[in-house]
Amino acid sequence: MENIFGFIEQRLKCIKQADLYRVLRPYGGAQGVVLEMEGKRYHNFSSNNYLGMADHPEVVAAFKRGLDTYGVGSGASRLICGHHQAHVELERRVAELKGKPAALMFNAGYQANVGLIAALCPKEGVVFSDELNHASIIDGCRLGRAETVVYGHCDVADLDRKMRAYGHKPIKLVVTDGVFSVDGDIAPLAELSELCLKYKALLYVDEAHSGGVFGPHGGGLLEELNLRLPHVIGFGTFSKAFGVFGSYVAAEQPIIDLLVNTCRSFIYSTSLPPALAEACLAAVKIVSADADRRARLWRNVAFLNECFQARGVPIKAATQIVCYPVGPAAKAMEMMAYLKEHGFLVVAIRPPTVPPGSSRLRISLSSEHDPLIIEKMVDLLAGYRID
């Protein structure tokens, strides 16, 4: 046993020496634009709570009503006795929001992606995955038995060449983030959809960071671009703009039926608690109807860009996720500590999440951020010298 723990300690030492060591830091109170952590209060620019829904009183009330009515746990997986009417109603509402015939709930985005890709594309097929896709997509490709072909980031021409070479495959699946979770850029979904039609492939779009934020009713980029076509599969989460927990996939009914019968991460997981499903449903209804929240968020994105431009910072955000390049992991950690000293929480993103030498700060905007606080954060960023 000493040899085993010695090996573990050596691995940890190497991680620390590379400035890649991570620790858990608990916070107190509600998740909002101000966060209590380690006895201090910080302006929070690291949360995925993009629309300030995590403590919305109507969502909280729906959760409480669900707890009083259904209790805490769901008791079993959906195919045993954990399939509740609350799940049915949530799936119906999500399918309507996404413009699809059907939807299926999962407990978390990671759990869904690691099972969905393998279920949609068996070993006879091929998966085409953007090189900057989320880790859950990458792991889903690894766990599946189909061949995986990685194409250049948002490079439609590269994908075209690679799809042409695999025209003989009976099943082809293109997988991409809608909004990429670290850099905040947007996938060329219209062009990808056309390619999929050309090569008779399915297009799977992870809308974890675009759901609720894009579209007239918060239906995401697929609603924004009106890409509600049979070959397009929409995936998303309730844990970001909707402020709750859980995930979903929306698609044609035969695809949903296939997932119920073959997706192992769905079949063998205890279902989402019905009370949580009620909270998700309340959040979806509110976000769908409240266009002002999205408008406030996009005003904050535009204001951030104005602040960057006024200070000569060569960054222009396309979405609510903003990448501030730093480079070495040690420098990113120094800059994060500097911002914390001044009352701002902006978390450094380091390898293995990003390639070595490309560490950065990931700024997340919310509809609830005060523009004056955004401006102060930009002043701190612009005034910090990176040697």
Supply the residues annotated as catalytic: 181, 209, 240
Contacts of residue 91, defined as CB under 8 A and 6 or more positions apart, other chains included, come to: 102, 103, 104, 105, 248
Task: Tally helices (H) and strands (E) across the chain.
Answer: 14, 14
Element (H, E) at 106: strand 102-106
What distance in Å separates the CA atoms of residue 183 and residue 279, rounded to the nearest whole number?
30
Cα distances (angstroms) measured from residue 160 to each of 116, 164, 171, 317: 24, 6, 16, 28
Element (H, E) at 301: helix 291-310
Contact by Cβ (8 Å): 271, 70: no
From the list 175, 168, 166, 177, the residue with the least C-alpha distance to 144 is 175
Cis peptide before 352 (omega within 30 of 0): yes
**Residues 207/248/26/184 CA torsion (nearest 10 deg):** 0
State the amino acid at position 254 in one-letter form: P
What distance in Å separates the CA atoms of residue 313 and residue 321, rounded to the nearest whole number?
16
Write out the DSSP string of 334-382. Answer: HHHHHHHHTTEE--EE-TTSS-TT-EEEEEE--TT--HHHHHHHHHHHH
